[in-house]
Amino acid sequence: MKFIIGNWKSNGTIEEKDAMFKSLKNVRTNNKIVLCLPFTLLDKNISHAHLGAQDISIHPNGAFTGDISGKMLKDAGVECVLVGHSERRLYHNETNDIVKNKAKVALDNQIVPIICIGETLEEKKTGRTMTAVKKMLLESIPDKYGDYIIAYEPRWAIGTGLTPTLEEISAVHETIFKALRGIEHEDTPILYGGSVNMDNASQISSLPHVDGLLIGGASLKSETFLPIINVVK
């Protein structure tokens, strides 16, 4: 079983969400399908996929206009939540410390955090991918082992149509796996994300230590999302 997780970002209407779940009805797969939807589309009554969110407040409740708490997400039927997506780190100044806190809040609310990490183009160009990814990983994960997921997403590969080579993905996933094994968190699933599409999904998801995929653009429409679900074995 592999995870196939869609991230709709700031996209999607109720009609588009309903159409997606309708088409997922006919999919036969052993993979675990999750859609991380915008807050406005979170719907307890969905079936044929698991419900995910894209952010969680650090605060349990109170005067924090615009924040959605863990308790509220749980109440809305959310099973997992993205934390530290590179767009949150970049546009909302989320640090490893904030990400770690958000992951802890998710776990405290019985929601699985999907902790995103990945190097910048600058780090890649200067040969610092492994050090950057390892530092981000160890500073962003909760201290105690919990039911969390890691998504390795090179920043430069997100929404660009560019992907690392299969060898590069393999090497980073192995580094992440070894770092997690070093702290006895080796059961943590490690996903790859960044310009995944129906042409590269099968090969990437078959690599060792790749336990699934996190998909942005290609998860928005059933014509591009369903073929990915079908090719991942």
Give the binding site for ligand PGA (CB under 6 A).
Answer: 7, 153, 158-159, 193-196, 214-218
Is 151 strand, coil or helix?
strand
**Which helix or strand (DSSP H or E) is residue 105 part of?**
helix 96-108
- Least distance to ligand PGA, CB of residue 184, Å: 28
- Least distance to ligand PGA, CB of residue 20, Å: 16
**Which helix or strand (DSSP H or E) is residue 191 part of?**
strand 190-193
- Compute the distance between CA of residue 59 and CA of residue 8 in angstroms, rounded to an integer: 24
Q: Which residue is nearest to ligand PGA (CB)?
A: 216
Sign of the four-CA dihedral 167, 103, 215, 1: positive
By CB atoms closer than 10 A (0-12, 13-18, 19+), residue 231 is: middle
- Least distance to ligand PGA, CB of residue 215, Å: 5
Closer to ligand PGA by CB, 86 or 188: give it.
86
- Least distance to ligand PGA, CB of residue 71, Å: 25
Closer to ligand PGA by CB, 69 or 210: give it.
210
Closer to ligand PGA by CB, 159 or 182: give it.
159
- Is 85 assigned a catalytic role? yes
Closer to ligand PGA by CB, 70 or 217: give it.
217
- Compute the distance between CA of residue 39 and CA of residue 36 in angstroms, rounded to an integer: 9
Catalytic option among 50, 85, 173, 185: 85
User: DSSP class of residue 61?
Assistant: S
Active site residues: 85, 153
